[in-house]
Amino acid sequence: MTQNRMSKSRETPQVRSDVLQGTLDLLILKTLSLGPQHGWGISQRLQQVSEDALAVGQGSLYPALHRLQRKGAIESEWGSSENNRRARFYRLTIEGERLLGRELETWRFFTGAVERVLACDELEAPPALAGPGSDR
């Protein structure tokens, strides 16, 4: 019953803001590049490393994992967790490493551009923006 009610209340605001979807893939790939991990592990790692600034709702994490898996960026197998429970571990594939590289580049380009705009205090001729377009 509880589940049902909660699934209906989709718009319930979360306590901590959810990360952007495009960014979530990058974060997962980066986390997995450090070694195989299960879903819960990934969410904990993100939370710890970002010092609680980035909380990933499970409603986004698992779909993202399945999406990445379908894309072939990660693969999974069942193993046993630190406390001897059966858990599904995800691992980066070669394709995933390549994707991580590309996504990182895009991210840096994007944040760099945003930084430059924010750092600009004088009105100049608009800089020619070139590079990967934003995703939609």
Q: Are 39 and 90 in contact (CB under 8 A)?
A: yes
DSSP 55: B
* Window of 26-34, 63-71, 93-101, 124-132 that interacts with another protein by CB under 8 A: 63-71
Residue 85 vs 134, nearer CB to another protein: 85
CB of 109 to another protein, least distance (A): 22
**What type of residue is 105?**
E
Residues 6+ apart with CB under 8 A from 135: 22
| Under rule CB under 8 A, residue 4 binds another protein | yes
Task: Determine if 136 is a binding residue for another protein (CB under 8 A).
Answer: no
Phi/psi at 65 (nearest 5 deg)? -60, -45
Least distance from another protein to the Cβ atom of residue 114, Å:
27
Asked if residue 36 lies in contact with residue 93, where contact means CB atoms within 8 angstroms, the answer is no
Shorter beta-carbon distance to another protein: residue 33 or 58? 58
**Among residues 75, 70, 60, 59, which one has the least CA distance to residue 27?**
60
- Give the binding site for another protein (CB under 8 A): 2-4, 6-10, 14, 38-40, 43, 57-59, 62-67, 69-71, 78, 81, 83, 85-88
